[in-house]
Structure 1
Amino acid sequence: MAIDLRSEFQAPAVDAAADAARRVIDALVRSGGMTDADMSAIADRLNAVADDLEAAAPPVADRLVDMWRGDGITRHDPVAGPENPIAPPLEYSAVDSRTIEAVTTLGLPYQGPPSCVHGGVSALLLDHTLGVANGWAGVSGMTAELTLRYHRTTPLFEPLTVTARQVSVDGRKIRTTGEITAGGGTCVSAEGLFIAKHPPRPR
């Protein structure tokens, strides 16, 4: 069963723009200096787009309030946020009442070792996914500890399954585990300790 983790505030045009930006990021990393494209002209075009966006953007304080309004899952986070172009983004499904998973394929923008996912990116995906599993299970909080074990390299260009499960809740302490697998083998496993508290939302 797919989990609708989107905010109730939908913005299809914003999501489409973020998808386009993902394509640009991927194409820029893939091209590097090995392209016949006129990169100076492309830089001018991209700067013109950035100028238009910056001219129309609200003050940061107003945007922060907008990002955190409502009770839904945020749309801006760097892992599953549909309006954040650095997010893959992950789309989660429920395995059971305490477990979620997502399948994603990462490209060159997420590379660390040759043809492999950067270890910090793996940590980002797991930290966020453990947190989402906590929310799905009904008790969430802030990351206090995150312990990772890198079993083998995590490949680019192949489907990755990111899974997390809330294991226990003891007072304000929440313990959650997760892993990234590829081809049926574990690439990275994680154990997290979360504390059931949240900073105040911007107002």
Structure 2
Amino acid sequence: MTIDLQSGTRTGGVDAAAAAARRVLAGLVRAGDLSDADMSGIADRLNSVADDLEAAAPPLHDRLVHMWRGDGNTRHDPVTGPENPIAPPLEYAAADARTIEATTTLGLPYQGPPSSVHGGVSALLLDHTLGVANGWAGSSGMTAELTLRYHRLTPLFEPLTISAAQTSVDGRKIRTVGAIEARGETCVTAEGLFIAKHAPRPR
């Protein structure tokens, strides 16, 4: 069962532009300096696009207010945000009342060791997934501690399952666990302590 744990991807508009930007990022990392593409010309074209975006952008404060409107499902974050070109983006499904999971395949922009996911990227994915699991379970807060254990290299170019489950709530302290798996094997596990408080929203 797929559920609305984040705002879904929309057809067209900024979501389509972000998806195109993901292709550009992946293409640049793959091409590197081995490509016979006209990189100077590509840079000029990309700078022209950036100029257009910057000229049309609203004031930063207005954008921040807009980002944090509504029920807390953000469309801009670097893990699930369809508006963010560095997000895979993950789409979660509920396994049960306290557990969520997502499947994704990561490419070269996320590489650390050869053909493997950067450890910091794994931490990012797990921190966010643990936080979403807390929201799904009904008690959420800010990350206070995140402990990761790297069991084996996490492969690029292969389906990864990222899962998390809330395990306990003791007053303001919320504890959650998660994992990244590939080929049925555990690559990374995480234990998180969250505190039931939230940063104020921009107004």
**So what's the TM-score if we normalise by structure 2?**
0.97
Alpha carbons 1:7, 1:71 under 8 Å: kept? no
Q: Give the match for residue 95 of structure 2.
A: 95
- Look up the SS of the partner of 1:40 in the other structure: helix
The CA distance in 2 between the partners of 1:185 and 1:9, in whole Å, is 30
Provide the rounded CA distance (Å) in 1 between the counterparts of 2:35 and 2:195: 49
Distance in 1, Cα, partners of 2:148 & 2:9: 34
Shift of residue 5 of structure 1? 2.6
AA matched with 1:192:
G
Residue 115 of structure 1 corresponds to 115
**1:5, 1:18 → 2: CA distance?**
20
Give the residue type in structure 2 aligned to 1:157. F
Tell me, yes or no, if structure 1 residue 191 matches structure 2 residue 181: no
Residue 94 of structure 1 and its aligned partner are, at CA, apart by 0.3
- What residue is the counterpart of 1:6 in the other structure? 6
Partner in structure 2 of residue 71 of structure 1: 71
Structure 2 residue identity aligned to 1:80: T
Secondary structure of the residue that 2:75 maps to in structure 1? Answer: coil
1:89-134 alpha-carbon deviations (Å, 9 max, x no partner) = 0000000000000000000000000000000000000000000000
What is the deviation of 1:180? 0.1
Q: Distance in 2 between matches of 1:8 and 1:27?
A: 25
Q: CA deviation at 1:36?
A: 1.1
Distance 2:21 2:153 in 1: 27
Give the distance between the partners of 2:198 and 2:163, measured in 1 at CA.
Answer: 23
**How does 1:171-190 map onto structure 2 within 5 Å?**
171-190=171-190
- Of all paired residues, the percent bearing the same amino acid is 80
- Partner of 1:150 in structure 2? 150
CA, structure 1 residues 8+65, in 2 after alignment: closer, same or farther (shift >3 Å)?
Answer: farther
Contact 2:8 2:82 in 1 (8 A): no
Tell me, in whole angstroms, the C-alpha distance in 1 between the residues paired with 2:16 and 2:71. 23
- Determine the C-alpha separation between the residues in 1 that align with 2:114 and 2:50: 31
| Root mean square deviation of aligned Cα | 1.3
Q: Structure 2 counterpart of 1:198, which letter?
A: H
Equivalent pair of 2:103/2:161 in contact (CA under 8 Å):
yes
Range that drifts further, 134-143 or 10-19: 10-19
Q: Is the 8 A contact 2:106 2:157 kept in 1?
A: yes
2:131 and 2:42 map into 1 onto residues whose CA distance is 38
Conservation of the 8 A alpha-carbon contact between 2:6 and 2:91: no
Q: Aligned letter for 2:127?
A: D
1:10-56, Cα deviation, whole Å (9 max, x unpaired) = 67411000000000000000000011110000000000000000000
Does 2:161 align with 1:161?
A: yes
Taking the aligned partners of 1:7 and 1:38, their CA distance within structure 2 comes to: 37
TM-score (norm 1): 0.97
Whether the aligned pair in 2 keeps the contact of 1:8 and 1:70 (CA below 8 Å) is no
**Per-residue CA shift, 1:135-187, capped at 9, x if unaligned?**
00011000000000000000000000000000000100000000000000000
Asked if structure 2 preserves the Cα contact closer than 8 Å seen for 1:5 and 1:72, the reply is no
5+ unaligned residues in a row in structure 2: which ranges? none
Q: Distance in 1 between matches of 2:52 and 2:5?
A: 30
Distance 1:80 1:87 in 2: 6
Give every structure 1 segment of 4 or more consecutive aligned residues whose post-TM-superposition deviation is greater than 2 Å: 5-12
